[in-house]
Amino acid sequence: MEFFERFAVPHASPMIYASMVAIALVSIGIVVGITYFKKWGYLWREWFTTVDHKKIGIMYLISALLMLFRGGADAILMRAQLSAPEMKLLDAQHYNEIFTTHGVVMIIFMAMPFIFAFMNLIVPLQIGARDVAFPRLNALSFWLFFAGAMLFNISFVVGGSPDAGWTSYFPLAGNDFSTSVGTNYYMIAIQISGIGSLMTGINMITTILKMRAPGMTLMKMPMFTWSAFIANVIIVFAFPVLTIALLMGTTDRLFGTNFFTTTNGGMDMLWANFFWVWGHPEVYILILPAFGIYSEVISTFSSRNLYGYKSMVGSMVLISLLSFLVWTHHFFTMGQGALTNSIFSITTMAIAVPTGVKIFNWLFTMYKGKIRFTVPMLYSLGFIPLFTVGGVTGVMLAMSAADYQFHNTMFLVAHFHNTIIPGVVFAMLAGLTYYWPKFFGFMLNEKIGKITFWLLTVGFVLAFFPMYITGLDGQARRMYTYSEATGFAPLNMLSFVGAALMAIGFVTIVYNIYYSFKNSPRDIGSDPWDARSLEWATHTPVPEYNFARVPQVASSEAFWDMKKKGHQLFKGEIKDIHMPNNSGVPFVMGIIFFIAGFSFIFAMWVPAVIALIGIFVCMALRSFEQDHGRHIHVKEIKEIEAQYGEVPGNENRSHTTTRV
Amino acid sequence: MKIDHTQPLEYSTDQNQLNILGFWIFLGAEIMLFATLFTSYFIFEGRTGSGPTPAEIFEITPVLIETFVLLTSSFTIGLGVHAMRLGRKNAMLTFFGVTLLLGLVFLGVEIYEFMHYYHVGATYQTSGFTAGLLTLLGTHGAHVTLGLFWGLFIILQVKKRGLTPENANKSFIFSLYWHFLDVVWIFIFSFVYLKGMM
C-alpha cells in the first residue's frame, strides 16, 4: 500500500472527496454512455483520428468551454470565500491551490485553446486553403494540449494541486516550501501543452505564409488572419523561453539542481524573469487574435470596411515587438533599481499607443456605419469602453513609482481581469456566436444571447470594479481572508454578487446551445450575417475540402466585393482535391505523453523511461511511414456540392439579411 | 503529387516546400531555446557556490576533438547534400554515413567529458554554474543524439526507396538541422569553453 500513498491528496477536505466521487461517476457515465450508444467507432473514426482543421478546432472549442467552467468554479469559490470577513468555506492552503489552478486553467487551458479553436476553424477558410500546412502535426498539437490539460486537472484529486500561484515564483515553488507534487503538475502539464502550442505556431505561420489563395497578398489578408499570424510569431519566439524555465524548475524539484534555489549559486529571480519573458508576450498571444475577431465583427455589423487596415497591421507588429520589452514591469518592487524600472515603465506605457490606434480604428469603422446590434456586436461594443478602462489602469500600474502602492493588491487583480475578460473572453464569446452557424449549421438564439451579454457585463462590472477601490485601500491579493475591521466586507460582497451573475451568464450560454440546437431553423444559407471575408464564401456547414474550387482574390474583403461589386471568386473547372489521411498516432502520442508526464510528476522512473521510449518509437514510425494522402474525385465533389443545392460565388443570393 | 522538375528535388513538391519553410521556423524557435540556455549560462557562470569554477574543470583536449569532429561532420553533410543534388545516391549515402560516424565520435567524447566533470566533483547538483553548464551542453548533446537516430532512419529510407522527392526533402531538412547544431556548438566553444579557460 505504501506505493499508493503518494497519490493521496495531502490536504483533503469533504469538497475534494465529493469531487473525486463526481469525477469517477462522470467518467464511468461517459464510458458507459458511449458504449451503450455504440459510439466508440464513430468517435475513433471521426474525431480521435481526425486531421481536419475544422474538427480539431471544434475539439479545441469544447475543451475550452469545459475548462471555462472548471476555472469558473475556482473563481466562484474564491469570491464566496472572500464575500464576508473570517469566512470558513476554504482554509488558507485550499485557497492557495484554488487561485493557482484558476490562473493556470484560465490562461493555459481555457484562453489558449479558445484562440487555437478560432485559428484552426477560421484561418484556413479565410485564406482559401484546404487545410493547414501540416494537418497531422495539428492533430498532435491538440492531443498534447489535451493531455496537458487532463494531467493538470487530475492534480486536485491525485496527489494535490499546485499552490504557488500561477506565476509559481521560486523559492516558494521549490521543494522546501511546496512539498506536495502539486508544483510538479504545474511544471510538467504546462510543458506538454506548451510543446503543442509551439507546434501550432510553426504550423500556422507556414500555412499563412505559403497557402494563401491566388491574389491574396499579405496586405489583402483578412484582419483575423493577420492577428493570428502575429500571435503565432510571438508563440514561436516566446514559448521556447517557457520550455527552458519549466525544464529548470522541473530539474530543481526532481533532481535537486540549483537553478532557482537560494544556495550554491542558484538565482530565484531568474525564474521570475524567464517566466515573464514568456508571460508578457503570452498575454498578447491571447489579445491579438481577440482584436482580430473584434475587427471582423465590427466591420461586418457596421457594414463598412475596416478603418485603417494598414495601421491595424502596423500596430499589431509594434505590439508584438514591444511585448518582449516590458517583462520587468511585473516585478517593479523586487529591487532592479530606478534606471531599469524607468526604462521598463516607458516601454510599457508605449504599448498604449498602438493599442489606442486600434481602439480609434474600431470607432472610426463604426462611424457613419449602419450598425446592427447583434450579440457579437454587443460584445464588441461592450469591449471598447471596458477594455479602455483596463488599459488606462494598466498605464497607472506602468508607472513604477506608483506601482509600489498598487503592487500585489486587488487593484492589480482588477486591472488584468479588466483587460482579459472584456478583451479576450468577450471576444471568444463574440467569435463563438458569430462563427457558430458556419460550423454547426444553425444560429444561436439572439434573445438568450443578449441576456447572456448583459449578465456578463453587469456581473463583470460588479465583480471587478470594487476591487480597484479595495486594492487602493490596501486589500492584498491572494489573502484567503480578512478581518471585519478592514472595512473590505461590503465591496467584497458586491464582488461576489457580480461573480454569481457572471456564473449565471455562463450557464445561459450552455442553455442557449441546447435551446438553439432544438429550435433554431437549419435553412440559414451560407452567409447568415451578411459578412465580408472568404470564410463565408463556402457552404454551411463547411464541407471537408472547404472550397470546391480555389477562390481568386482581389481585395481584403473578397466575399463582400463578390456580393457588391460582382467580382468572380470561383473560376474554372472542379478538379480532384488532395486530402491528408486520418491517423491515430497523434491520439496515441497524447496518451503516452500523459503517462510520461504522470510518471515524471511522481518520480516513477521506470514507467517514465518506457513512455519516453514509446514517444520516440512513434516518431520513428512516422519517419518510415509512407502516407501520400488521398484524392476526392470530381464526381464525388459534384455530388457533395449538389447536396448543398447552391454554389456560392456563382451568383448573388437573395439571402443576405440577418436572421434574428 | 505534382512534381516540379525545374526545382531541386527537395523543393519539387508543394508539401516539400512547406516542410522546408516549417523547419526554418522551427529553427527560429530553436534559436530562442538556445538563446535562453546561453543567457542562463552567462548568469550562472560566476555563481559557483562551493563548487568548482569553469577554469578548474574545463579540459582543452576533448573540447578540441569535439569541435574538430563536429565541424568536419557539417562539411561532410554539405557534401552529402551536394551529391544528392547530382543524383549520386551512393556518394550521398557515404557522406551521410561519415557524418553520423563523426557525430557518434562527438557524442562519445562528450560522454567522456561529462564523466570527467562527475569525477572532479562538478555534478548536476553542485552549483548554479554546473547546472547551467550541463543543461546547455546536455540539450545540445540530446539534439545530436536525436539527430543520429534521425539520420540513420533517413539513410535506411534512401537505401530502400531511392532518391525520391520525399527522401530528398527529409535529407535536406536533416542537413539544416545538423548545420544548426554545428552553429550552436561554435557558440558553445567560443563563449563557454574559450571564455571559461581564459
Residue A246 within a domain: yes
Nearest C-alpha neighbor of A162 from the set A102, A75, A80, A120: A102
A660 to A252, A450, A516: CA distances (angstroms): 57, 11, 12
pLDDT > 90? residue A23: no
Chain A contact residues (CB < 8 Å to B): 133-134, 198, 201-203, 205-206, 209-211, 236-241, 243-245, 247-248, 251, 255-259, 261, 263-267, 270, 274, 578, 616, 620, 623-624, 626, 628
Q: What is the CA radius of gyration of chain A?
A: 25
Residue A219 within a domain: yes
**Chain B residues inside the 8 Å CB shell of A626:** 161, 166
Tell me A9's DSSP state. -
pLDDT > 90? residue A569: no
Over residues A120-134, mean pLDDT: 95
Q: Residue A19's pLDDT is what?
A: 84
**Chain B residues inside the 8 Å CB shell of A244:** 33, 36-37, 40
Chain B: residue whose CA lies nearest to A235: B29
Q: Residue A214's pLDDT is what?
A: 92
Q: Residue A310's pLDDT is what?
A: 95
Over residues A230-255, mean pLDDT: 97
Residue A202 within a domain: yes
Q: What is the tens place of the pLDDT at every residue in A144-157? A: 999 999 999 999 88
Alpha carbon of A619: minimum distance to chain B alpha carbons (Å): 9
Residue A196 within a domain: yes
**Chain A residues inside the 8 Å CB shell of B26:** 202
Residues of chain B with pLDDT under 70: 1
- Site from B125, B126, B156, B166 to mutate, A interface, most A CB atoms within 10 angstroms: B125
Q: What is the tens place of the pLDDT at every residue in A426-452? A: 999 999 999 999 999 999 999 999 999
**What's the rounded Cα separation, in Å, for the pair A428 and A290?**
7
More confident residue, B117 or A554: B117
Under an 8 A CB cutoff, do A259 and B33 touch?
A: no
DSSP-assigned beta bridge partners for residue A631 = A578
Nearest C-alpha neighbor of A457 from the set A402, A401, A403, A508: A508
Q: Residue B147's pLDDT is what?
A: 97
Under an 8 A CB cutoff, do B49 and A258 touch?
A: yes
Under an 8 A CB cutoff, do A211 and B25 touch?
A: no
Task: Tell me the pLDDT band of A651, cut-offs 50, 70 and 90.
Answer: very low
Alpha carbon of B139: minimum distance to chain A alpha carbons (Å): 10
Residue A421 within a domain: no
CA atoms within a 13 Å half-sphere pointing along the CA-CB vector of A354: 21
Provide the mean pLDDT of chain A: 93
**Chain A residues inside the 8 Å CB shell of B154:** 623
Under an 8 A CB cutoff, do A203 and B30 touch?
A: no
DSSP-assigned beta bridge partners for residue A579 = A630
Over residues A95-124, mean pLDDT: 96
Q: Residue B10's pLDDT is what?
A: 87
Q: Residue A659's pLDDT is what?
A: 41
Q: Residue A648's pLDDT is what?
A: 52
Task: Tell me the pLDDT band of A656, cut-offs 50, 70 and 90.
Answer: very low
Q: Residue A658's pLDDT is what?
A: 41
Would you put residue A266 in left (φ > 0), alpha (ψ -120 to 50) or beta? beta
- Assign residue A277 the CATH number of its domain: 1.20.210.10
- Site from B20, B23, B33 to mutate, A interface, most A CB atoms within 10 angstroms: B33
Q: Residue A331's pLDDT is what?
A: 94
Structural domain of A159: 1-286
Q: Residue A657's pLDDT is what?
A: 41
- Site from B26, B32, B150 to mutate, A interface, most A CB atoms within 10 angstroms: B32
Alpha carbon of A244: minimum distance to chain B alpha carbons (Å): 7
Residue A84 within a domain: yes
Q: Residue A646's pLDDT is what?
A: 58
Q: Residue B106's pLDDT is what?
A: 97
Q: Residue A654's pLDDT is what?
A: 40
Q: Residue A11's pLDDT is what?
A: 80
Q: Give the range among A57-66, A535-544, A589-598, B73-82 with minimum mean pLDDT.
A: A535-544
Q: Residue B1's pLDDT is what?
A: 64
Cβ pair A516, A442 in contact under 8 A: yes
Q: What is the tens place of the pLDDT at every residue in B28-71? A: 999 999 999 999 999 999 999 899 999 999 999 999 999 999 99
Q: Residue B124's pLDDT is what?
A: 94
Non-local CB neighbours of A30 within 8 Å, separated by 6+ positions: none
Residue A423 within a domain: no
Non-local CB neighbours of A573 within 8 Å, separated by 6+ positions: A549
Residue A95 within a domain: yes
Q: Who among A206, A241, A256 is closest to B18 (CB)?
A: A206
pTM for the whole structure: 0.95
3-state DSSP helix/strand/coil % of chain A, to nearest 5: 70, 0, 30
**What's the rounded Cα separation, in Å, for the pair A492 and A511?**
29
Number of domains forming the structure of chain A? 1
**Chain B residues inside the 8 Å CB shell of A274:** 36, 40
Alpha carbon of A4: minimum distance to chain B alpha carbons (Å): 29
Q: At residue B127, what is the residue type? A: S
Chain B: residue whose CA lies nearest to A197: B29
Q: What is the tens place of the pLDDT at every residue in A381-416? A: 999 999 999 999 999 999 999 999 999 999 999 999
Tell me A445's DSSP state. P
Per-residue b or e along A264-300, where b marks 16 or more CB atoms closer than 10 Å to that residue's CB: bbbbbebbbbbbbbbbbbbbbbbbbbbbbbbbbbbbb
**Run of H or E including A632:** strand A630-632
Under an 8 A CB cutoff, do B135 and A251 touch?
A: yes
Q: Residue A644's pLDDT is what?
A: 81
Over residues A107-135, mean pLDDT: 95
Q: What is the tens place of the pLDDT at every residue in A165-199? A: 999 999 999 999 999 999 999 999 999 999 999 99
Q: Residue A1's pLDDT is what?
A: 64
Q: What is the tens place of the pLDDT at every residue in A204-236? A: 999 999 999 999 999 999 999 999 999 999 999
Chain A: residue whose CA lies nearest to B155: A624
**What's the rounded Cα separation, in Å, for the pair A370 and A304?**
8
**Chain A residues inside the 8 Å CB shell of B123:** none
Cβ pair B189, B63 in contact under 8 A: yes
Q: What is the tens place of the pLDDT at every residue in A252-290? A: 999 999 999 998 999 999 999 999 999 999 999 999 999
Cβ pair A179, A162 in contact under 8 A: no
| Domains, chain B, with CATH or none | 9-197 (1.20.120.80)
Chain A to chain B Cβ contacts (< 8 Å): 112
Q: Residue A566's pLDDT is what?
A: 84
The ipTM of this complex is 0.95
HEC-encoded secondary structure of chain B: CCCCCCCCHHHCCHHHHHHHHHHHHHHHHHHHHHHHHHHHHHHHCCCCCCCCCHHHHCCHHHHHHHHHHHHHHHHHHHHHHHHHHCCCHHHHHHHHHHHHHHHHHHHHHHHHHHHHHHHCCCCCCCCHHHHHHHHHHHHHHHHHHHHHHHHHHHHHHHHHHCCCHHHHHHHHHHHHHHHHHHHHHHHHHHHHHHHHHC
Q: Residue B81's pLDDT is what?
A: 96
Q: What is the tens place of the pLDDT at every residue in A32-41? A: 999 999 999 9
Tell me A130's DSSP state. S
